[in-house]
Structures are given as C-alpha cells and as structure tokens.
C-alpha cells in the first residue's frame, strides 16, 4: 500500500525509516522488499507516452509506486525555454491523480539551481532504508545518453535503471552504450506499447491550434488552455 508522508511521521524520518516531503512512505516492514519507480523528465507537458511507460514498468517490475518527478532546472535544457516548475508540477499532478500507484513529487522542482539526476538518486538512496529498491525509468533516448550524464557512476550505484522502448529511438544503441560503459549499470529493458509522441510534438500542436485529445489526459490539456501555455491561440485550440 502506498501512503503519503504525514506530519506525525517526522520522528520516523529522523530514524531513517521513512522518506520526507511528498515522497511515498515505504520500507516500514524490515522483512519485506519494496520497489520504488522514479520517472524523471522535463514533463513540458507530461503526455500519454510517459504514463504508458510508467504503467508498463509498474506491472512488469512489480513496483509499489511510480513517482513522477519534474526536473527543477533540467541540466540538459538550460538553453531552452522551459515552462515554470509550478506549471510542470501541476500538470504532472493532474495527469497522475487518477492512478493510486502514481505520485507527483516536487522533490526536484523545490531544489535550488540546476538539478542533476545523480544528486536526486543519491539523496533518495540515503533517505530510504536498504529494503527499498530504486528503479529509475527512462525512455530509449535517455538511457542511451545516461552514460554521458554528470556523475553517471553515482547514478549506477544508487538505482537500477529501466530502459523503455520508444518509437524513433533504437534500444540496441542504448544497450551498446551501457555495455561499453566502465560503470556497473543494472538495466532492465522494457517493451512498451508504442506511442510516437513527445512533449515537443504536443507543444507544436498547441501552437498550431490543434487538439491534444488522446495525447495527454484531458485535465492537462484544460490546464494548458486555461493558462495559455505554449502560445495557445485564443479561441483556436480546444481540448
Ligand atoms: P521533449 O520533446 O520536450 O524532449 P519528451 O517527450 O522527450 O519531451 P521528456 O520530459 O524529455 O519528454 O522525457 C522524460 C522521459 O520520458 C525520458 O526518459 C524519455 O525517454 C521518456 N519518454 C518520453 N516520451 C516517451 C514515449 N513516447 N515513449 C517512451 N518513453 C518516453
Ligand atoms: Mg525528451
């Protein structure tokens, strides 16, 4: 069962039994093993490709919960115009709210400065007891790059990786990169029902006044329209 953190658990955080903030409470039974999935991304906006990949990981790997964690200031998108952390966090919350096994977390959005996955995973590794296994879920494009990320060795030592198929990206390329890496990545490759969509594609559609129906949950497209994200042309774009 997934329980979100409550105030009265403060002492147990100090004892290292539970996590803090909006991260899920896991690891209570020392004789049990818990599996926590972490789906990182810019999520500008979150879309059904992210949700399908996470759902597949949840089922195939027997995860207890998947935490969707919008990046604060994504290290590799510093030169790009990215929506505010608040908007991306709210859309992530809206997209995940109907799934009891999905959570949205502000863990990265609330951290100052540029966010690096290695720091996030190391903090989480220290926060949770050893009977909580961490699984960092990525698509085929991200897993191929991960060997080049800052402190890739720390990423490898703090979490297992899940590499999901993604149309347009070759998982074999990712496999080759991982195999050639000097670091001991533990990767599970995952076949995900193909959705050839990206946040960039959704942003382009909004700009062109086209619908996002069936590409992202309705509350997300409603939020985009209401808040005029991605250059919504008033009166044109309808969810
Ligand atoms: P952008 O076009 O802005 O780069 P994106 O769709 O690639 O957006 P990100 O937030 O960059 O979304 O990706 C977060 C994670 O989700 C990455 O690990 C990425 O590989 C994965 N992902 C994104 N879209 C899909 C998809 N359609 N199928 C499988 N995985 C995906
Ligand atoms: Mg991307």
Cα 29 to chain centroid, rounded: 26
Q: Compute φ and ψ for 136, nearest 5 degrees.
A: -90, 115
What torsion, rounded to 10 degrees, do the Cα atoms 87, 111, 118, 81 define? Answer: 40
CA-closest candidate to residue 3, choices 28, 24, 34:
24
What integer pLDDT is reported at residue 232 of this predicted model?
Answer: 81
Q: What is the pLDDT along the chain (239 residues), one digit of tens a residue?
A: 344 444 444 444 444 444 567 999 999 999 999 999 999 999 999 999 999 999 999 999 999 999 999 998 766 667 678 999 999 999 999 999 999 999 999 999 998 888 899 999 999 999 999 999 999 999 999 999 999 988 999 999 999 999 999 999 999 999 999 999 999 999 999 999 999 999 999 999 999 999 999 999 999 999 999 999 999 866 555 55
The closest alpha carbon to 105, from 65, 163, 74, belongs to: 65
CATH topology of domain 3-196: Rossmann fold (3.40.50)
Instruction: Locate the ligand 1 atom nearest the alpha carbon of residue 43 and give its number.
Output: 10
Residue with tokens 């005029």: 228
CA–CA separation, 184 and 169 (whole Å): 23
Atom 9, ligand 1: residue with shortest CA distance: 41
Sign of CA dihedral 232, 95, 13, 118: negative
Q: Can you tell me the distance from the alpha carbon of 137 to that of 192, in angstroms, rounded to the nearest whole number?
A: 12
pTM: 0.90
End-to-end alpha carbon distance in the chain: 34
Instruction: State the Cα–Cα distance between residues 137 and 38, nearest whole angstrom.
Output: 6
Looking at the chain, the domain(s) classified CATH 3.40.50.620 span: 3-196
3-state secondary structure of 74: strand
DSSP 95-122: HHTT-TTEEE--TTTTSSSEE-HHHHHH
Nearest to 47 by CA among 205, 221, 228: 221
Which ligand sits nearest to residue 166's alpha carbon?
1
187 contacts 162 by C-beta, under 8 angstroms: yes
List the residue whose alpha carbon is closest to atom 18 of ligand 1. Answer: 138
**Residues β-bridged to residue 187:** 161
Q: What number of residues does the chain have?
A: 239
Which listed ligand is nearest to 200 at the C-alpha?
1
CA-nearest residue for atom 26, ligand 1, is 49
Q: Judging by DSSP bridges, how do beta strands 3-4 and 24-25 pair with one another?
A: antiparallel
Residue 160: which H helix or E strand, with range? strand 160-164
Smallest CA-to-CA distance from 185 within 94, 121, 93 is with 121
> Measured in angstroms, how far is the CA atom of residue 182 from the centroid of ligand 2?
25
Pocket around ligand 1 at a 6 A CB cut-off: 41-44, 49-50, 53, 138-139, 141-142, 164, 166, 192, 195, 197-200
């Amino acid at each position: 069962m997934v329980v979100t953190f409550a105030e009265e658990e403060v002492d147990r955080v100090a004892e290292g039994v539970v996590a803090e903030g909006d991260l899920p409470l896991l690891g209570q039974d020392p004789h049990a093993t818990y599996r926590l999935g972490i789906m990182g991304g810019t999520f500008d906006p979150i879309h059904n490709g992210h949700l399908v990949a996470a759902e597949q990981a949840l089922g195939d790997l027997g995860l207890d919960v998947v935490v969707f964690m919008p990046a604060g200031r994504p290290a590799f998108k510093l030169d790009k115009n990215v929506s505010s952390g608040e908007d991306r966090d709210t859309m992530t919350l809206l997209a995940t709210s109907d799934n009891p096994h999905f959570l949205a977390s502000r863990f990265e959005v609330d951290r100052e400065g540029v966010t690096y996955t290695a720091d996030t995973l190391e903090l989480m590794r220290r926060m949770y007891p050893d009977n909580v296994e961490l699984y960092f879920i990525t698509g085929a494009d991200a897993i191929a790059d991960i060997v080049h990320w800052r402190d890739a060795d720390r990423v490898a030592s703090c979490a297992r990786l899940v590499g999901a198929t993604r149309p347009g990206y070759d998982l074999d390329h990712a496999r080759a990169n991982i195999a050639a890496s000097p670091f001991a990545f533990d990767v599970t490759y995952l076949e995900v029902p193909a959705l050839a969509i990206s946040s960039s594609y959704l942003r382009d559609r909004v700009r062109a006044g086209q619908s996002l129906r069936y590409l992202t949950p309705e509350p997300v497209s409603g939020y985009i329209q209401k808040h005029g994200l991605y250059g919504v042309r008033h009166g044109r774009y309808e969810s």
